[in-house]
Amino acid sequence: MNASAEKSLTHRVAIVTGASSGIGRATAILFARQGAKVVVGARRAAELEAVVAEISRAGGHAIAVCGDVKDEAFARELAREAVDRFGGLDIAFNNAGTLGEMGPTAEVSSVGWRETIETNLTGAFLGAKYQVPALLARGRGSIIFTSTFVGHTVGFPGMAAYGASKAGLLGLVQALASELGPHGVRVNAILPGGTDTPMGRAVASTPEARAGVAAMHALKRLATPEEIARSVLYLASEASSFTTGTALLVDGGISIHRG
């Protein structure tokens, strides 16, 4: 990595979940480029190792922990690796999530509902549960969750489990921000709009569908993962030192656009 006085995360240690692709991958690489040592987590080992290799080739530092965010032992291991391998924890980006079972609410199975809630909401809670002690030991830090505009500013049919799970994260953000603010730890959520990721392409699987989703945004396009990552970096860095308890819309204007 090129030496730069402007690296905003020098001497910081970060956890990024859902780091094997999309927003998580882009954020892990950006964090490392900005000087952080990064613990990347996801279920797919080969893809995680590819992220670590890319960071290492650029002169950064990263390690991979493979697992599922629904597993409490995985959350514990991520925090332990940050402390044991890199000396502590300053930033946690709880990004892993799933669209879950979609369709008319009356037809969503209880198994599908629970799977979505456990991944998107309980998984985030478990991550924070083990990240908080490490952050408090530093006396400062930033926790960031990936929520969405769906269920917050816009409702979409067929996405009840997804919308409910992601809206629930905002309640978690507010509770944690209140608890941890006196200890110097900030807690926020990022709410992306339509983004060109594997998950985004699962919702809009054809060029026509992607064009339709893009047209819903005031900017008339989808975001790149790197654009969303830059907003996560803002919340992770001292640039947002007086920002906590927020739901930061980075949605290309989809929440306000009616054209």
Could you tell me the sign of the dihedral formed by the alpha carbons of 48, 74, 85, 181, in that order? positive
Superfamily of 13-250 according to CATH: NAD(P)-binding Rossmann-like Domain (3.40.50.720)
Could you tell me the sign of the dihedral formed by the alpha carbons of 114, 249, 125, 77, in that order? positive
Coil, helix or strand at residue 248: strand
Neighbour count for residue 106 (Cβ, 10 Å): 6
CA proximity to 153, closest of 125, 192, 115: 192
* Rg of the chain in Å (alpha carbons): 17
Strand partners, 42: 66
Give buried/exposed letters for 146-180 (b at 16+ CB in 10 A, else e).
Answer: bbbbbbbebeeeebbbbbbbbbbbbebbbebbeeb
Residue tagged 């992220």 (tokens): 51
CA proximity to 142, closest of 259, 236, 41: 236
The band of 3, judged by pLDDT with boundaries at 50, 70 and 90, is: very low
Neighbour count for residue 37 (Cβ, 10 Å): 23
Is 162 noted as a catalytic residue in this protein?
A: yes
Coil, helix or strand at residue 2: coil
In the set 74, 125, 130, 162, the catalytic residue is 162
Listed ranges 27-31, 150-154, 214-218; the one with the highest mean pLDDT = 27-31
The band of 5, judged by pLDDT with boundaries at 50, 70 and 90, is: low
End-to-end CA distance of the chain: 43
Task: Convert the pLDDT of each residue in 22-62 to its tens digit.
Answer: 999 999 999 999 999 999 999 999 999 999 999 999 999 99
Which of 78-82, 163-167, 169-173, 198-202 is predicted least confidently?
198-202
pTM score of the predicted model: 0.94
